[in-house]
Structure 1
C-alpha cells in the first residue's frame, strides 16, 4: 500500500507540473482582451416656467442638466483573424438623489453583445441604440441631443432611443459610405406578434469635413390586455448633414413623420444649429427647430443656447437657456424626457440652467 502511494505521488507530481505549465502557456497564448469602466456625472440647478396648469414655475437641483448621469462597463476580446467580440452594459442614475433612473431595468441604457470584423462589419444583439440614436446623438447633433435642447421637439422620440430584443448589422466603411440595418422582435407577445416591433435603416456618406445621412424607421405600437395598438405604426424618415471646420461646426436636419401610432404628431420637422469654439476652453452652441403638424394647426418652435467652459477634457461647467413657443395649441416641453412637466396647450415655456459635468 505504501509503495502504491509513493508511486501515485511520483506520477501525480509530474502530471500536476505539466498541467500547470500547459495552463500557463494557454493563458499566455489567449487572445488579448480589455475592460473599461466609464461614466458621466452631471448635476445642475434648473428653473422652468409654466410647469403646471396654473402657470407656476419650478426650481430644482436636477441630474443630467446637459447629458444623463450614467456609468457602464464595456470591453472587447481579440479573437484573431481580424475578429473581435465586444460588449457594453450601461445604467443611468439620478446624481441628485443617487437612485437608479429606472428601477425595472438595471442596465436601462445598453445591454449589448456582438462580433466585429474589419472585413464584414459588426453584428450586435440586446438592448441597443436605435437608428435615430446612432445617427443623431452620435456625430450629428451639436449637443448630442442634450436634455433641454432640440431633442424635445421629437425628431427622435424618447421611447425610440433604445430598442429591446434587437439585432443590428453595421457594414464596414466602404470608401466614404457606411450603412446600418436594424430590427427587433418587440414585446414577443403570442397574442400580438407585431407588438413593439422596430425596424430601421441608415446610409451615410462622409468625406473630409462633410457628412450626410438618410434614415428610415418604423415602430409598431405596444400590446396589453387592456389595449392593443400593435397594428398601429409610427413611420419617420430623416435627412441630415454636418460640416466641421477648425473652430465652427454646422448641423441641419429635416424629418418627415407619418403613420397612425403618433409617437409624435404627423408632420414635418426642421432643425439645425451652429457651434463655435473660440478657444480650447470655450464652446458656444446655438440650435433652433420648428415642427409643423399635419393633423392640426400645431406649430411649436424651440430656441436653445449653450455655453460650455472646459476645465479639462473631463470636467465641464455649462449654462443654457431654452425657449419653446407652443403656437397653435401644441404642448411641447423644453425637457426631453418621458413624463416631462409640460405647459398647457398653447402656452410657452422658458428654462435656464447652470450645471457641472464630469466624465470618467
Structure 2
C-alpha cells in the first residue's frame, strides 16, 4: 500500500511539473543573412562589397511567455543584431539592440511592455512600405531617406513603455512613451507616439503619430556607441537638421490584396522644428546655421505579386520632397525599388534587388542634393544605383 501511495504521489508531482511546463515556453530564434552589393557611385567610385542583414537584419534572440491564468500572461524578448560578414555586434555595439523588454498581456485589456523596443508607429505602419517588407529592409536600401520617418526600425526607443489594445472587430490602437531620464527636464530626450490600425480581410489601414524631443540624441542616438554631443544623423539629406528641438512624424498607410497581387500605399509627413535649438558639435558651416523648420513629405506606392508559390516579384516608387529651412530651395528625391524573392523552403530564400535614386535641389547640408540611398555610401552626384543578391536563413 505504501509503495502504491508513493507511486501515485510521484505521478501526481510529475503531472504538475508537465502542466507547468506546458503553460510556459522559451524559444531561441534568429536570422542569418549575407549578400553581395554593388554601388555605382560611392563618393565617386564604384564599390563591390559583401554585406550582412540585407533582406532581414541578421539577429539572434530569446522570446518567451508564461500563462498566469485568468486570461493573463507574461512575455519577454531579448534580441541582438550582428554582422554575418565579420561577427561584430549590430545596432552600434548594443548587445540586445533589436529589443529588450518584458510585459504583461490580457486577452480582455491588451498588453503593456517596458524596455528597449520599436515605436508604435513602426508596429502599425512598417508592413506597408517596401523598405519595411521586401526591399532590403535589413540593410535599408529600400528605406525612405536615412529612415527619417522611422518605418524601417533603424531607430528604436530606450526606457519605453508601450500599450497595445486587443483587436475589436479588426480595429486596434496603441501608444508608447520613452522616458528621457534627464534630471529636472522631463521632456528632454523623451519620445511618445500613438497609432491605430484596421484589418479586415484583403483591406488594411493604419495611422500613427510620433514626436521626439532632441531627436539627434533620443530618436537617432539611442544606441550604445552613439554620440552624446555629436551628430548621429549620417544621411546628407537629413544630417543638417540634427539641431532640431523636436521631430514630429505623421504616417498613414493602407493596402489591398486582390488575387496574387497586393498594392500598398504610404504617406509620411516629417517635421524638424526649431532648428538651431540643440547644441551639436562637428556640424560647422551652413547646416549649423539653419533656423526655423524643415519638412519632408514622402509618398510611396508598393506592388507585390506572387508569381508562383515560391516566387514573389515586387516594384515600388517613392517621391520625397524636402521643404528646406531658411528659405533655401527644396530638395526632391525619386527612388525606384525592384526585387525578386525565391523561397527554397519555409526558412531559406534567395533574393535579388535593385535600387535607383535621383536627387535635385539643395539638401540639408546646404549644398547640391546628392543621391543617398539609405544604408549605402552616398553618391558624389545626383544619381545612384545599388544592386544586391543574397541568401537568408531563419531558424
Q: Which bracket does the TM-score occupy, shorter chain normalised? A: 0.7 to 0.9
Deviation for aligned residue 1:259: 3.4
| Structure 1 stretch displaced more, 84-93 or 64-73 | 64-73
Q: How does 1:110-259 map to 2 (within 5 A)?
A: 110-137=99-126, 139-142=127-130, 144-145=132-133, 146=137, 147-152=140-145, 154=147, 156-157=149-150, 161-186=155-180, 188-190=181-183, 192-221=185-214, 222=217, 226=229, 232-259=245-272
Native 8 Å contact 2:130 2:143 kept in 1: no
Native 8 Å contact 2:132 2:143 kept in 1: no
**Structure 1 residues 218 and 244: alpha-carbon distance in aligned structure 2, compared to 1, 3 A threshold:** same
Q: How does 1:311-322 map to 2 (within 5 A)?
A: 311-322=344-355
**Structure 1 residues 354 and 225: alpha-carbon distance in aligned structure 2, compared to 1, 3 A threshold:** closer
Q: How many residues align?
A: 336
Could you report, residue by residue, the CA deviation over 1:251-279 in whole angstroms, capped at 9, with x for unpaired residues? Answer: 101111123277x9512110121000111
Aligned equivalents of 2:54, 2:207: Cα separation in 1: 29
Q: 2:17 aligns with which of 27, 41, 49?
A: 27
**Structure 1 residues 103 and 255: alpha-carbon distance in aligned structure 2, compared to 1, 3 A threshold:** closer
Native 8 Å contact 1:195 1:230 kept in 2: no
Aligned equivalents of 2:228, 2:32: Cα separation in 1: 39
Q: Structure 1 length as normaliser, TM-score?
A: 0.85
Native 8 Å contact 1:298 1:326 kept in 2: yes
Aligned equivalents of 1:193, 1:247: Cα separation in 2: 49
Could you report, residue by residue, the CA deviation over 1:175-228 in whole angstroms, capped at 9, with x for unpaired residues? Answer: 121001111102x12264323211011111221110111111001113888579
Q: What residue number does 1:12 align with?
A: none
Q: Structure 2 length as normaliser, TM-score?
A: 0.78
Aligned equivalents of 2:357, 2:333: Cα separation in 1: 7
Is 2:389 aligned against 1:351?
Answer: no
- The ranges of structure 1 where at least 4 consecutive aligned residues each deviate by more than 6 angstroms after the TM superposition are 19-23, 227-231
Native 8 Å contact 1:153 1:302 kept in 2: no
Q: 2:358 aligns with which of 325, 336, 339?
A: 325
Native 8 Å contact 1:46 1:65 kept in 2: no
Aligned equivalents of 2:30, 2:383: Cα separation in 1: 34
Q: What residue number does 1:105 align with?
A: 94
Q: What residue number does 1:5 align with?
A: none
Aligned equivalents of 1:122, 1:335: Cα separation in 2: 33
DSSP-derived class of the 1:150 partner:
coil
Q: What residue number does 1:342 align with?
A: 378
Gaps of 5+ in 1: 1-16
Deviation for aligned residue 1:94: 0.4
DSSP-derived class of the 2:121 partner:
helix
Q: What residue number does 2:52 align with?
A: 63
Aligned equivalents of 1:251, 1:199: Cα separation in 2: 26
Gaps of 5+ in 2: 1-6, 219-226, 232-241, 276-292, 362-367
Q: What residue number does 1:6 align with?
A: none
Aligned equivalents of 1:20, 1:301: Cα separation in 2: 70
Deviation for aligned residue 1:136: 2.8
Native 8 Å contact 2:71 2:106 kept in 1: yes
**Structure 1 residues 161 and 313: alpha-carbon distance in aligned structure 2, compared to 1, 3 A threshold:** same
Aligned equivalents of 1:106, 1:136: Cα separation in 2: 26
DSSP-derived class of the 2:112 partner:
strand
Deviation for aligned residue 1:20: 8.2
Deviation for aligned residue 1:58: 1.0
Q: What residue number does 1:94 align with?
A: 83
Native 8 Å contact 1:153 1:289 kept in 2: no
Native 8 Å contact 1:184 1:197 kept in 2: yes
Aligned equivalents of 2:370, 2:377: Cα separation in 1: 10
